[in-house]
Chain A
Amino acid sequence: MAVTWSGRWNHVRKVTERTGPFAHPDFEPSTETLQFLQEVCHILVIGAGGLGCELLKDLALLGIRNIDVIDMDTIDVSNLNRQFLFRPKDVGKTKAETAANFINLRIPGCNVTAHFAKIQDFDASFYRKFHIIVCGLDSIIARRWINGMLISMLSYEDGELDQSSIIPMVDGGTEGFKGNARVILPGMTACVDCTLDLYPPQVNFPLCTIAHTPRLPEHCIEYVRILLWPKEEPFGAGVAIDGDDPAHVSWILEKSQERANEYNISGITYRLTQGVVKRIIPAVASTNAVIAAACATEVFKLATSCCQPLNNYMNFTDIEGVYTYTFEAEKKDDCVACSQKPQNISFCESDKLQDILTYLLESTTYQMKSPSITTAINGKNRTLYMQSVKSIEEKTRANLKKSLAELELCSGQELYVADPTTPSSLTFILQMGTKME
């Protein structure tokens, strides 16, 4: 398939067919490198949003032809200020397919395959097809999940990591004028969970402030969202808030305004209301372009060895001047995801199962979302608590109030915890003693 023309790859070939003092020691300048990029190299892009659109363009213009893209979203009007592969006529269509079609049309020979799906819809056999996976996600849960998936695919022989089982992950993230790009070699360098403290957990307003002592317009909006909506069910029983439905936002706006007036609070606007309800993170084209470009450059380096990859984390911000900070994030010896070590957790016999659950949710090391806990007693599996299946939740809910002694859990007991942040369940070893802080 000779979809090319004279001079097309002149720019790329300068660095793939010539070596330099900063190239990776394994680099061999050759025309085969470009050939590899075009014919063999298979890249997965996760997310076809702000970063994803940029990543597809960037990779395609570096000569990579075989690209898959996964995204579960459809196009919204508010995407158009930065997701440049989408037009007003595309609103409502799937992001993955629209982006893939655009790239395939614009860049001759490029073969982007779209998956309108969630990353959780695929298993290891799918992910194993790719040489490198690059993420442009806005969700930490999804990042941790794919991170966990790539770690679960590592194979060890006599404790030695089989290098050929490593699929590098390049990850980008943006928020307003700030962003970061990082390179993860699963099992070798710091993974997403090793550096979980870089993603501070979301802070919510205390419920008592919202209910009794509102001071900010945000408190009034949260009051309507959390307390008033379920009580009044303004759009029918069981109808959840849709932050994109102007009727819903307008109702919340009006009620928030009423509450604000009651307390002499000013500053409620439609924009603020929608921002709070949808937890909107501001976004601009420029930051997405910068972070995606840095990530795509790293994919190119990893795929060609024409230059040493980033080691391993870069922060970017351009509010006051333009500033980058590059550092080596450290692999955690006892990382829950990549250390292969069971996690020790310490509680007292009088602690309740709820305390363990709360700890898993709130500790900065784990930051789980809805953990289910099972264990094995005398070789028999026993579900202590499960949230995801309603009937089991009802059956196991009472366990939360029981103490660990009542549940007959003792020191050394293994607890298996499943959570949306990880594709495989994690093993915790319970130590009876003092409660963990």
Chain B
Amino acid sequence: MAAVTKSGLDKNNKYDRQLRLWGDHGQSALESARVCLINATATGTEILKNLILPGIGSFTIIDEHKVQGEDVGNNFFLSKESIGSSRARTATELLSELNEDVSGDFIEESPSNLIENNPDFFASFTIVIATNMDEKSLLQLGELLWNLHVPLLICRCYGFIGYIRLVVKEHNVIESHPDSTHEDLRLDRPIPAFVTLCDSLDMSSMNKKDHSHTPWLIVLYKYLQQWKDSHGGELPKIYKEKSQLKELIRNGVLKNKDGVPEDEENFDEAVRNVNTALHPTSVPSDVQKLFKDPACLNLTSESRPFWILTRAVKDFVEHEGKGALPVRGTIPDMTSDSERYIKLQSVYRDQAAKDVSDVTRRVHKLLQELGQDEPLLDCNQFKTSSLLHSNPCSISEKDIKTFCRNSAFLRVIRCRSLKDEYNPETANVTLIGQHLEDEDGDDVVFYTLLRSVDKFYEKYNHYPGYYTQQVESDITELKACLSKLLQDWSLSSTVKDDYIHEMCRYGASELHTISAYIGGVAAQEAIKMITGQFLPINNTYIYNAMKQSSTTLDL
């Protein structure tokens, strides 16, 4: 990552507020991303705006259309003067002003021409974003990108409804940044150095200050041993047993000369943490699933670094780890004097470092077996993003460290293809049916209606309600299109006329604020795909601005 922008600003300052979210390595991935937008609609330019501002590498707009009066009405990146000229050109010019460090390019051509005549063109993009494409070209593009392993994000705004569909064969997430997690403290199978540390401390001989500054983790461990000794070595499991342990801890609070318990914050913390800290150490089911994944079990020279690392961790769990993942190596802050807290922290850090080195050895071994062993690249600061795409030889020490630290949160997303969604034989009809039956399921009603307006368009070459004088007759026709669709899906559900009426009211209008909302959400999904951080949707997102509600479903 270059340190300064074109006009000499410090990038650390310019991007400070987002670097705190995805780090320098996330930013580096963003700055090397090439983004393709098909159609510079209001939705399209809003998405690009939110990608250009944080600093993607480059963007290319594909749009064959000339700017019309109504385009300038809802699109911030077109001007009155541009009416009649190329929409791709004007949008590229105005969007480029947003960030001098992003390069913009455009192609005045229809996407279907490009798909037919120059399919390789799309292979060079990190992600393709499509807005307002007709169903036929969209399915062609979907097929092409599916085979090229290029993620496709389809976005659409229709009246008060927004729609996003992610299409990607496989996406791996190492840093999913879960909002709340269990700490990895291993009180049920303590780290040897932790036991040594605890055993070296005798709480009964401590003065008041040391007693009340002994970290709760150690306090809890000590009383846990007492409890185990009187319960045949078993840990407390049920509520009643945990309450007994809490009582035991409470009784350990120092008492003053009148027999009144002192205020010992560390003991309060120990009691508060009994339930969460005794959460048994285990491999989360999402990660267990990955261990059983054929991509993990059958490594080849083509395997992504993600799978080689997953396999190395799996092998670690089965051997050195004795059934547990590498230690995360972090502890929460707690009442303590500095010295003992730092000691305790080192115990966990050192074990984590040891586990990383075991996993590293296993990575070497796997690479050797695959005939790919080369010395591991040394700690290249911004390498994590390479784990997603490039070849296994680029796995660095730092990558392995990041991977081990996040091993409990690894995620893989495999979307269904567009082809499967659009083929009635393979469509996820059961799910759609369930939602249509659900009283609160009306966000999904709009999915069926978006599909229906496309059928309508195919038949009449305009969207229902586009012409004011035809709104009434279009309602009947749209209803017929919807019935046909439900019939194709063999669904007997019905959709209230109100929804059909509302859809015809919209007449394919693209309200700017709906575009701006979808522009924000879709840009963030693109950033997730580009950085390999955070968890993208799988696979369809419907936004209902009438109620400010939204639904995600796997179609």
Contacts and interface: CB of A to CB of B under 8 A. Distances in A.
Interface of A: 5-12, 14-15, 17-22, 54, 57-58, 61-62, 77-78, 80-82, 84, 87-89, 106-108, 176-177, 181, 213-216, 263-265, 270-271, 274-275, 280-290, 292-294, 296-298, 300, 307-308, 310, 314, 317-324, 326
Interface in B1-36: 5, 7, 9-10, 12-21
Contacts of B468: 17-18
Contacts of A297: 160, 511, 513-514, 517, 545, 548
Given A18-B471, A282-B20, A282-B21, A293 B333 contact: no
B336 A58 contact: no
B17 A292 contact: no
A82 B178 contact: no
Given A54-B516, A294-B548, A320 B50 contact: no
A283 B21 CA distance: 8
A319 B338 contact: no
B103 interface: no
Contacts of A215: 333-334, 336, 338, 341-342, 345
A265 B10 contact: no
Interface in B177-193: 177-179
A98 B403 CA distance: 45
Contact of A280 (B17, B54, B510): B17
A310 B21 contact: no
Interface string B518-555: 01110111010000001111100101011111101000
5 contacts: A14-B506, A61-B513, A271-B20, A284-B18, A289-B520
A7 B523 contact: no
Nearest to B346: A264
B299 to A, nearest CB: 28
B19 A271 contact: yes
Nearest to A63: B73
Interface stretch (B75-83, B129-137, B228-236, B366-374): B75-83
B337 A286 contact: no
A54 B80 CA distance: 20
B140 interface: no
Nearest to B68: A7
B420 interface: no
A95 B172 CA distance: 40
B447 to A, nearest CB: 15
Contact of A21 (B69, B97, B159, B501): B501
Minimum-distance CB pairs A-B, first 3: A7-B69, A289-B520, A290-B520
B546 A177 contact: no
A280 B20 contact: yes
Given A177-B21, A322-B550, A324-B549, 19 more contacts: A11-B511, A11-B512, A14-B507, A15-B511, A18-B468, A18-B507, A61-B42, A78-B14, A88-B9, A213-B336, A263-B339, A280-B17, A283-B18, A286-B50, A293-B517, A307-B160, A314-B548, A322-B537, A323-B552
A298 B513 CA distance: 10
Contacts of B74: 11-12, 61
The CB with the most chain B CB atoms within 10 A, among A81, A292, A323, is that of A81
A81 B49 CA distance: 10
Contacts of A107: 76
Given A11-B512, A289-B46, A319-B535, A108 B80 contact: yes
Contact of A326 (B98, B511, B535, B549): B549
B198 interface: no
Contacts of A314: 548-549
